[in-house]
Amino acid sequence: MTIACLLWDVDGTMVDTTALIVESLDHIYRRYYGQTLSHEELRALIGTPLRKQVRVFGEPEKYGVDEETITADFIGYYEANRERERILEGVTALVREGKQRGLPTALVTSKNREELANTLPRLGIAEWVDVAITADDVTHPKPDPEGLKLALQSLGIPLERAGEAFYIGDTVHDMRAARDADVRGIGVTWGAATQAQLEAFSPAFICDAPEQLRRILFPAGV
């Protein structure tokens, strides 16, 4: 199996952030909009950029607040509780192994630049990543395939070889982006979406554990 490059999601894929993101969204929604969503609706927002998440109830200005204030509060709340992040060492080890094997490696995340700058040092993979595409780097973030296509271009992978790339992610937004970019999606079930939700977007593989992901990416003897 030829692998042109490895593209990685961050939240829910290599760090367990689902509960903390849900709580942080609930915090800003109650504080600034006087309402919130169900737990499942909040989970479904994971994988979309913060600038979209803050507009779930409409433009912030309608509620007498600006986007920058809400964004800063979300990031501040998240960072104040960052000890509740759980780095998935079995996954970050695969990021390092892929790069050690000579595979071009990129992050494609719905985090904005500030959010990624906060999280990346905690993951211990910065030196193993060639390119990082955030929500600030694209006009149309996930589930649009623009970020994946930009990552391929930045890594020097021709779009006609997109089918030799893998994108590993935990949300339906990740798998839809992979499908629409003609990239092979690998859905992981330890994040925000269920196996059934991931299967709806026809990923190449679905993994329930990092060890299973490793066997797909790096088969024995390869």
Say if residue 39 is in the same domain as residue 138.
no
> Cα 219 to the chain's mean position, in Å?
25
Nearest to 133 by CA among 152, 161, 157: 152
Say if residue 38 is in the same domain as residue 146.
no
User: 222 in a domain, yes or no?
Assistant: no
Say if residue 103 is in the same domain as residue 37.
no
Range of the domain at 185: 5-16+86-217
pLDDT tens, 143-194?
A: 999 999 999 999 999 999 999 999 999 999 999 999 999 999 999 999 999 9
Q: What residues have CB less than 8 Å from 163, skipping those under 6 apart?
A: 182, 183, 184
- Residue 29 and residue 37 in contact, taking contact as beta carbons nearer than 8 Å: yes
Domain boundary among 43, 65, 83: 83
Say if residue 150 is in the same domain as residue 195.
yes
- Residue 125 and residue 96 in contact, taking contact as beta carbons nearer than 8 Å: yes
pLDDT tens, 202-215?
A: 999 999 999 999 99
End-to-end CA distance of the chain: 10
Domain count of the fold of the chain: 2
Here the tokens at position 53 are 């998440």
Residue 16's pLDDT band (boundaries 50, 70, 90)? very high
Say if residue 92 is in the same domain as residue 142.
yes
34 phi/psi in degrees, rounded to 5: 65, 25
Say if residue 96 is in the same domain as residue 128.
yes
